[in-house]
Chains A and B, each alone.
Chain A
């Protein structure tokens, strides 16, 4: 019944139990040993492998501790998890390389140039993926801080996973979204970027591939590229990611995970449709694709009911969910979180302790107070109204001024409009023209190295006047850099 003609090789340096562990992981990752699969009894396995039982036991205990296998009383050992835990291998020696200044990617230059310019006060920032200071919750934080000061809150060290209070608040928040998470499944981090950083460093072996939509926010980061993790772009059509292409990439077997911003994507503003969502979740499940869900923008919906995160229909625990308040409340607190399987969270928490010994407990306390007092929701609801008006204005201006030489979809949430230009000669010249005239834009190639015809416009930061003026300069820039008369 069990096809086990493999035996560990005693001549190798690698200990026998380690070889057995890898064998079991291979069996699981190729799908032969599926979720819930009952392993042969230990005595039988030891005989198959030609090892003594204590060696076998060490291997199985390690895998159980890693959450890959589980035990069910007398009935023995079964496959408990077939996605994230498989990556919990020893980290590769070069895992830190991604962060070195020496391995900066070509995009760095433009990112840096934009960053440098963003803080010149008189520039119009159609580029900026952040909230205008006018929308930041100054009064709410003032009141919260006043209470915290009066309450005599002590500034001591806190729990490595984050304060219990904030994690409790998040449990409540996610329950309303249909996500049941335990405290031990939540790790508080310093923003979503740190979440992506910890996941890429802590879970992926060197040389792994991660698939993502093209264009994708990930291309604007150095993090994956310079860590030796390959990004594998999957093209999108009007409805979102091309599922057939996604399936093909993952069937080849070398792709470790899929990264996605399902709702109000950065940079495209795209929202995953309900129909597509079901189809995608089914695909992830069938192919056992571990998914990183970047949920940063989901709360910023303007035209419909609140969308539910992918994590809400994730019974098999293949989604690692990343949340943040940087776009929905304020970025300066530097708070985000990861929700995932307990073993994975423990591993990431250990790594985080080594890196920075935990996220500011003061920042966490402020966020917790805002969540508990309802001010977070209140603020969000105001923010949605404000940003809906901003979105409408930008769409209206584009319709009036850009029709004919540009295309876009009106986004139903988020910060961005992805503007595609027809007949464009040189996007770099458009960028330069705008910059010389005091307007910053983000060229599409920041999010897709091959892209030559798109611009990410952000309506979250600029005032109405700035938006009007900025777009008129952009229009001039485009028309003066387009070869044919329109």
Chain B
């Protein structure tokens, strides 16, 4: 388009991102070079249209649930938080038979035959770890997420139940994992904590 300045420089000139000396040089060049001038004018025109079009979005009504979420979602502090926290294991142990499980192995359930519901004994297939992880990361307590693999006759529903933090600041969530098909429904509960990498690791499962 021009010999002296590339489009990145011209674009930066439009945005006022060049140093004063270069700004003056580019300005002089744009005055003389018809292609450069056309480029600048086109960009200015495009930008004006873009702003106009995108600004329309600012006049749309904001959904009530978004406003409510911002106004009411609990604020939790990293160190000096006022969130009521009790050690999660104490709460869980009081209500259930706690089955502590090793971590890397993953450990909640297994399947007996391809068309059977999973039973609560063997390692959790990695696929359900992802399901639990997704629900715990993105769903608020009480909000379920439901999945089904194409090859499975049953659906999996994960519902975060409660959220805690321990003294180290780690987040824990209790969750409910349900399997159901046309004939049967099974439910277990789990407890997972959030790792530094943002993944949820199940620490314990229990029968209700």
The answer to whether A and B belong to the same complex is no
